[in-house]
Amino acid sequence: MWRRDIQKEESAHFGVGAMIVFIAMVLVATIVSSTIILLVEKMAQQTQRTSEDARRDSVNTVIIVGGWVGDDFDDYLFMMEFGSAGEQVARVDVIYVLTCTHPDGTFYYRSAALGNSMGGSALFVWEVGDNKPATAAGNVNQFSPGARYFFTLDGGTNAAPGGDECGPIDLDQNGINAKLALHLPNGMSTFQDLALSNGRVMGSQII
């Protein structure tokens, strides 16, 4: 009978071990690479969102810097200032909302594009330093970044734009305040309480 000696091959053990280590390293590298790619994508998306939020905040911002009684009945005069950076904003895209609540709980509001009277008295919008337009056709159509503008509002509601609800005479007679909001496209809104400082005397401040 033939007898065969089986001897250990040390090199084979080393080869198998090296292969196992190599496969493990490949798996670890794959996992690490996938994690890095995922983190980079999330950081890029977050940066893009942050940039877009900052752009919107800087472009589409406006504040009301002054407000006065326009006459002794139902007219107001306001001054607003736009953010110093960004693109122009179309006047028809800026929406105003004038609201008030009477002592009996009745809520009134008037809302439209800035300069649109909804059928009531003509409203005017012009840049500070220029003359008030003679007609609403002469209103500013584009608001520039960093510029200041005057605009007029009067009392009344969307249903009855010729009324005096929420106008100076209405606030004075009912002892109430009103609220004004300006809403910009793709941007922030600004809100202002309107309170008479000297009855409805023309030129007296309301904010």
207 found inside a domain: no
164 found inside a domain: yes
Query: How big is the chain by its Cα radius of gyration, in Å?
Result: 34
Looking at the fold, whether 37 and 136 belong to one and the same domain comes out as: no
Q: Which is more confidently placed, 4 or 87? A: 87
Q: Which is more confidently placed, 132 or 13? A: 132
Range of the domain at 174: 61-194
Looking at the fold, whether 30 and 113 belong to one and the same domain comes out as: no
Q: Which is more confidently placed, 123 or 207? A: 123
Looking at residue 72, its pLDDT comes to 77
Q: What is the mean pLDDT of residues 130-143?
A: 95
For the ranges 11-15, 52-56, 106-110, 117-121, the maximum mean pLDDT occurs at: 106-110
**CATH at residue 150:** 2.60.40
Looking at the fold, whether 84 and 142 belong to one and the same domain comes out as: yes
149 found inside a domain: yes
158 found inside a domain: yes
Looking at the fold, whether 53 and 88 belong to one and the same domain comes out as: no
Looking at the fold, whether 161 and 72 belong to one and the same domain comes out as: yes
What sign does the dihedral 118-128-171-169 (CA atoms) show? negative
Looking at the fold, whether 79 and 102 belong to one and the same domain comes out as: yes
Q: Which is more confidently placed, 32 or 74? A: 74
Looking at the fold, whether 52 and 68 belong to one and the same domain comes out as: no
pTM: 0.71
Looking at the fold, whether 139 and 190 belong to one and the same domain comes out as: yes
Looking at the fold, whether 23 and 89 belong to one and the same domain comes out as: no
Looking at the fold, whether 129 and 153 belong to one and the same domain comes out as: yes
Q: Quickly state the pLDDT bin for 67 (edges 50, 70, 90).
A: very high
For 135-167, the DSSP string reads SGGGS--EEPTT-EEEEEEE---SS-TTS-TTS
1 found inside a domain: no
Length of the chain: 207
Q: Which is more confidently placed, 28 or 65? A: 65
Cα 65–chain centre separation:
17
Looking at residue 102, its pLDDT comes to 97
Say if residue 19's pLDDT is above 90: no
Say if residue 56's pLDDT is above 80: no
Looking at residue 29, its pLDDT comes to 78
67 found inside a domain: yes
The total of structural domains in the chain comes to 2
Say if residue 2's pLDDT is above 60: no
203 found inside a domain: no
Looking at residue 10, its pLDDT comes to 55
Q: What is the mean pLDDT of residues 90-106?
A: 96
Looking at the fold, whether 22 and 123 belong to one and the same domain comes out as: no
Report yes or no: 94 and 123 within 8 Å, Cβ to Cβ.
no
Q: What is the mean pLDDT of residues 88-99?
A: 95
Q: Which is more confidently placed, 26 or 104? A: 104
Looking at the fold, whether 86 and 111 belong to one and the same domain comes out as: yes
